[in-house]
């Protein structure tokens, strides 16, 4: 993985501290051209990896990348799935069965006819594989060497104690997509404990890591001990604590955790992208 990963929160009005900033971002990036312009700026500054959700609008960005292969030669995307809001909105509008019809291949319903919803509950892992395939269609022809499960699903699986899902997902991503599985979580220590139980070795795990403990379940000291002592490949996200920290102090703290392999950040201007990259390089 690259040391620096570029995220997408700023494009889709995600700001955990300010609704006003989120609304302003929503207006600014209402058209794909605005997103592409910022991505191109990041690439010009040396970014090689875009870590993004499977938001419906990412499909249009992927179309643009496929149409301009020379411009994006060597550019990689790390998909993060599922995009929970997409499915939540679909369930509200279409209902559960309607949502499944919308996002899953049609042949699954020949099986549903035999067992109804009971089958869906019974074969959660098989349905998960179908959803992965549906979400990955937008990335066809684009390098996706790491594929992440979003924290909303990772932490739900943790909470439900469905440990067997993790090795099933791990194996499916490796075999079907020749990629490395990645996991996003808000409870890094607990996730690594479960991975030890189910035999997942040296996993790629993306988690909130910042100076003030923002969205770090278990606290800063436990995270620092986990990063220093456990065998895994850490990716730090939310290093700025959604704007609560100054960039210099935020990146200095994260870079002091020497075993962190990659740092994820999002920005929407040339100035802020360059500042973040320069700080990471200075403190690394």
The Cα 23–Cα 54 span in angstroms is 20
Q: Which two tokens stand for residue 108?
A: 């699954």
Tell me: the pLDDT tens digits for 80-90?
Answer: 998 766 655 65
Tell me: the pLDDT tens digits for 222-277?
Answer: 999 999 999 999 999 999 998 899 999 999 999 999 999 999 999 999 999 999 99
Domain architecture of the chain: domains with CATH = 4-283 (3.20.20.100)
Q: Which two tokens stand for residue 107?
A: 């042949």
Q: Which two tokens stand for residue 89?
A: 């909105």
The Cα 203–Cα 115 span in angstroms is 36
Segment among 108-112, 199-203, 262-266 with least mean pLDDT: 108-112
Q: Cis bond leading into 82, ω under 30°?
A: yes
Find out whether 186 and 163 touch, Cβ atoms under 8 Å: no
The Cα 170–Cα 17 span in angstroms is 33
Q: What is the pLDDT of residue 93?
A: 77
Tell me: the pLDDT tens digits for 267-279?
Answer: 999 999 999 999 9
Q: What is the pLDDT of residue 94?
A: 67
The Cα 210–Cα 223 span in angstroms is 10
Q: For residue 102, is pLDDT > 80?
A: no
Taking the complete model, does pTM exceed 0.75, yes or no?
yes
List of residues 6+ apart from 107 with CB closer than 8 A? none
């Amino acid at each position: 993985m690259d040391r620096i990963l570029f995220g997408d929160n700023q494009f889709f009005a995600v700001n955990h501290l300010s609704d006003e900033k989120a609304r302003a971002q929503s207006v600014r990036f209402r058209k794909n051209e605005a997103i592409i312009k910022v991505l191109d700026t990041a690439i010009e500054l040396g970014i090689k990896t875009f870590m993004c959700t499977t938001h419906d609008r990412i499909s249009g960005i992927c179309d643009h990348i496929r149409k301009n292969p020379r411009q994006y030669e060597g550019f990689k995307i790390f998909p993060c799935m599922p995009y929970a809001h997409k499915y939540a909105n679909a369930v509200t509008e279409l209902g559960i069965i309607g949502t499944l019809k919308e996002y899953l291949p049609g042949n699954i319903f020949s099986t549903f006819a035999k067992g109804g919803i009971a089958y869906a509950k019974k074969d959660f892992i098989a349905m998960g594989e179908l959803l992965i395939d549906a979400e990955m269609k937008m990335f066809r022809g684009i390098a996706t060497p790491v594929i992440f499960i979003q924290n909303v699903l990772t932490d739900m699986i943790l909470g439900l104690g469905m440990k067997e899902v993790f090795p099933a997902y791990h194996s499916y991503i490796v075999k079907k997509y020749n990629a490395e599985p990645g996991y996003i979580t808000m409870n890094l220590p607990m996730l690594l404990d479960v991975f030890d139980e189910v035999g997942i070795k040296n996993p790629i795990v993306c988690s909130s890591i910042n100076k003030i403990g923002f969205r770090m379940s278990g606290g800063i000291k436990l995270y620092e001990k986990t990063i220093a002592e456990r065998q895994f490949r850490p990716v730090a996200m939310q290093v700025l604590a959604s704007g609560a920290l100054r960039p210099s102090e935020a990146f200095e703290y994260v870079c002091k955790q020497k075993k962190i392999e990659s740092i994820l950040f999002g920005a929407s201007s040339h100035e802020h992208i360059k500042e973040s990259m320069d700080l990471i390089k200075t403190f690394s």
